[in-house]
Amino acid sequence: MATSSLPLFNLTAKSSPLCFVSHIAGNKRLSGSSYTNSASLKKKNRDGGIPISVCKAVSSSTSFRYLDADDFRHPLDKQNTLILKAIPGLNEIVKALLGSISEQVMVLENIGTSVLVSENQLSELHHLMVQAAEALKIEAPDLYVRQSPVPNAYTLAINGKKPFVVVHTSLIELLTRKELQAVLAHELGHLKCDHGVWLTLANIVTVGAYTIPGIGGMIAQNLEEQLFRWLRAAELTCDRAALVVVQDPKVVISVLMKLAGGCPSLADQLNVDAFLEQARSYEKASASPVGWYIRNAQTRQLSHPLPVLRAREIDEWSRSQDYKSLMNRATSTNSLQKV
């Protein structure tokens, strides 16, 4: 999950304290999901100066003949998407608020201040993206790396133009290569599920509606809670997309843990099992009537679910029959292809 000059997605009062995957829209940013690498390979530059992080490609063994977004879409995502689509005039409002000029501003802002990843530029990052896209059966979007101390990643997809993903340098420094690929897969999940457009719509309506004289505030107030409820559900879907690609729930959970309280110097001391236990204790503490009220108050204005809740969700889905059946389908497909 942007502000005035449309740089990357900043954390706002209504954003989660994490940036797992940001989605640019209008002139406000919704913090998104981010994954980075603390165990990245180090390589000195030609002058023997400061080491530069180098990502090495991670091969993905996942292969599907066909993969539909509904194969991993979270039930809450399905439910809240239907609710949004049922809102009268939502698409028309957004089209009126979002024009080609604002889109061009957003595109040029990111292209002009980032490094475009390709086979000849940060090629190992390029391979991570291509592998994740192949696993999810989606065309790989452009990928940009942007200098920023705030760990974050986000996707831009509006008006039918080719989408692109931006990853902050601080995120790359925080995560392992496999975790970074999980972040890229999470972002691709938004594209696979057509979240890019809806995220843009939600962002534009939430911010832009306030500028409409008279009814603007009322529109925004009525839509805001539902929009953020949908955004949180969409994040759960894309965490699943990350798991489909990396095939290891501990990798996805480790990303969430590092976003909650990690830094490169402490990364090797973090414990995924302990973080999962923390998630279970939060669930238990919030089960009481008072805890339930506090939890709802804590999350209702966030664009992303709390990291401990996301960790618990991905752990449970990784143990589900739905996930196992999906992975078995991929395995049998691989066998057929080898024959």
Distances in whole angstroms, Cα of residue 137 to Cα of each of 69, 129, 133, 217, 324: 10, 12, 6, 41, 19
Phi–psi pair at 140, nearest 5 degrees:
-70, 125
Q: Report the C-alpha gap between 135 and 117 in whole angstroms.
A: 19
Residue 23 bridge partners (DSSP): 30, 155
Question: How many whole angstroms separate alpha carbon 7 and alpha carbon 93?
Answer: 24
Please give the Cα distance from 123 to 308 (Å, whole number): 33
Which of 103, 187, 224, 235 is catalytic? The answer is 187
CA 177, chain centre distance (Å): 16
Please spell the DSSP secondary structure of 36-90, one letter per residue.
Answer: -BSS-EEE--TTS-S-EEEPPP-------S---GGGT--HHHHHHHHHHHTSTTH
User: CA-CA distance, 154 to 25, in Å (whole number)?
Assistant: 11
CA distance 101 to 120: 31
- Residue 235 annotated as catalytic: no
Phi, psi of 300 (to 5 degrees): -65, -25
Torsion on CA atoms 256, 257, 260, 265, rounded to nearest 10? -120
**Which residues is 22 bridged to in the sheet?**
154
H or E element in which residue 215 lies: none
> How far apart, in whole angstroms, are the C-alpha atoms of residue 163 and residue 208?
22
Q: How would DSSP label each residue in 110-164?
A: HHHHSEEEBTTBSHHHHHHHHHHHHHTT-PPPEEEEE--SS--EEEE--TTPPPE
Q: Give catalytic residues, as residue numbers.
A: 187
